[in-house]
Structure 1
Amino acid sequence: MDEVEVVVAHSERATLRVGDVFLKVDADRARLEAEVEAMSLAPVPTPQIRWHRPPVLALAALPGTTLGRLGGPSTGSPAAWAAAGAAFRELHEAPPPPRPGQAGRSAAALRAQLDAECEQLVAGGVLPADLVTRNRRVAEAALRPWTPAFTHGDLQIAHVFVDGDEVTGIIDWSEAGRGDALYDLATFTLGHEERLDDVLAGYGAEVDRAVIRGWWSLRSLLVVRWLVEHGFDPFAPGCEVDVLRSRG
């Protein structure tokens, strides 16, 4: 009999694995519906939907493995990373969905959220003021106008599967929608800056690297407190706090 593996769980959602099936349980049914819609529209490989009965979505496991994880070593050949970049370009060039995604917040809204978060990080003693100030300055590069694209919105390295040098699928589309394409590229390479050249070689378009660096700082600043409050460790080696420290 297959065992039930808890892949990830917090107060908003949980993912379980039973054999070759993943069960996603989401308290926000609208978000789950949006994930199903995004997978149907995405021009890249996605998991097969076994069944969908809100608040649960059952997905078939993808072949292959991920290219690593945040805080761990990166794996795969340069060609595999380039293949991921090519898949992201295909996604970003597709007609974007009607709804805004995680990467679709306006510069003004992000600036206000970032300023408030930086203040709380310092006031609460979570991070030293100089580290926050330095990364707030770097993050400003991401706060500029952008052309809406079809974005995944949570394109962590653990969400992209490859087999050899071929992308076999991308999972977790709950934050997908219209947004800034460079947010996706930054999320994928967060903590693995040494792979950015390979990803951009496959992406095949001119990219402002200062914006990528800005998103690395911005995203890390915004999630540190949330991660701590939900039982994750952004202070682990190679994770978000180390990303912030690397901006020296």
Structure 2
Amino acid sequence: MDEVEVVVAHSERATLRVGDVFLKVDADQARMDAEVEVMSLAPVPTPEILWREPPALAIAALPGTTLGRLGGPSTGSPAAWAAAGATIRELHEAPLPSRQGRAGQDIAALKAELDRECELLVSGGLLPSDLVNRNREVAEAALRPWNPAFTHGDLQITHVFLEDDEVTGVIDWSEAGRGDALYDVATFTLGHKERLDDLLAGYGTDVDLDVIRAWWSVRSLLVTRWLAEHGFDPFAPGCEVDVLKARM
């Protein structure tokens, strides 16, 4: 019998793997409903839904591998990165879903959240003030009006699978909806800035690089404390804190 592998688990949700089946357990039924709906709308490959029995969702494993992980080496050929970029562009140019996603947060609300988080990072002694303040300055470039796109909202490098330089599927759609396209581009290349040009070869170069760099700072500032409090290590080499240090 296959072993049960805990892929990720925290107080909000957990993902388990048994053989070729992933079992997602989510305490928020509305979030699971939204994930299933947006997967049906996405114009890019998504995993097959095997069955659904709240609070669980079973999906089939995808063939292929990812292009790396945050904190680890980036893998794959330039052609594979370009293929990922082309798939992301296809998503962003699709008809808009009705739901607002994580990448579509109101600018004023995002500014307020970012300022609160920066204060907590410093007051709690997690990060030095000069590091936080510098990245808050860089982050400002992302806090501008944007044209809505169909976004994934949590497009980590581990959420896109490829085989023979072709995308076989994109997973974890719980944060998807209308949002800023460059948020997705920045999330996918977080910690792998050396592969940004390869990605843009497929995505297109009509992007503002300062905004992508700004989103690297925004995402790292917003998640560092949460990760540290939930058993993850944002201080590991190549992870969020190193991303912040690269802006100094």
Normalised TM-score (structure 1): 0.99
2:138 alignment partner in structure 1: 138
1:243 corresponds to: 243
The aligned runs of 1:34-183 (5 Å cut-off) are 34-183=34-183
Deviation of 1:163 after TM superposition, in Å, equals: 0.3
Amino acid at match of 1:154: D
RMSD: 0.6
Distance 1:187 1:149 in 2: 15
| AA in 2 matched with 1:33 | D
Map of 2:198 onto structure 1: 198
User: In the TM superposition, what is the alpha-carbon distance from 1:204 to its structure 2 partner?
Assistant: 1.8
Secondary structure of the structure 1 residue equivalent to 2:7 = strand
* d(CA) in 2 for partners of 1:225, 1:33: 28
Looking at structure 2, the residues matched to 10 and 230 of structure 1 have their Cα atoms a distance apart, in angstroms, of 7
Name the SS for the 2:23 alignment partner: strand
Q: Which amino acid counterpart does residue 191 of structure 1 have in structure 2? A: G
Runs of 4+ in structure 1 off by over 4 angstroms are: none
CA distance in 1, matches of 2:157, 2:125: 29
Preserved contact between residue 17 and residue 23 of structure 1 (Cα < 8 Å): yes
Extract unaligned runs of 5+ from structure 2: none
CA–CA distance in structure 1, aligned partners of residues 149 and 110 of structure 2: 18
Write the distance in 2 (CA, Å) between the matches of 1:220 and 1:205: 24
Structure 1 position 18 matched with structure 2 position 12: no
Establish whether residue 9 from structure 1 lines up as the match of residue 3 from structure 2.
no
Q: Deviations over 1:144-192 (max 9, x none)?
A: 0001110000000000000021000000000000000000000000000
Deviations 1:181-211 (A, max 9, x none): 0000000000000000011110124000000
The one-letter code sitting in structure 1 at the alignment partner of 2:211 is: V
| Residue deviations 1:74-102 (CA, integer Å, cap 9, x gap) | 00000000000000000000011101101
Share of identical aligned residues, percent? 81
Partner SS state of residue 219, structure 2: helix
Letter in 1 for 2:88: F
Is the CA contact 1:76–1:164 (under 8 Å) kept in the aligned structure 2?
Answer: no
Are 1:233 and 2:233 counterparts? Answer: yes
How far residue 110 of structure 1 moved from its aligned partner, in angstroms, is: 0.7
Displacement of 1:222 in angstroms is 0.3
Partner SS for 1:66: coil
C-alpha deviation, 1:107, in angstroms: 1.2
SS in 1 for 2:217: helix
Deviations 1:43-66 (A, max 9, x none): 000000000111100000000000
Kindly indicate whether residue 196 of structure 2 is the aligned counterpart of residue 189 of structure 1. Answer: no
- Matches of 1:164 and 1:229, distance apart in 2: 38
Distance 1:124 1:142 in 2: 25
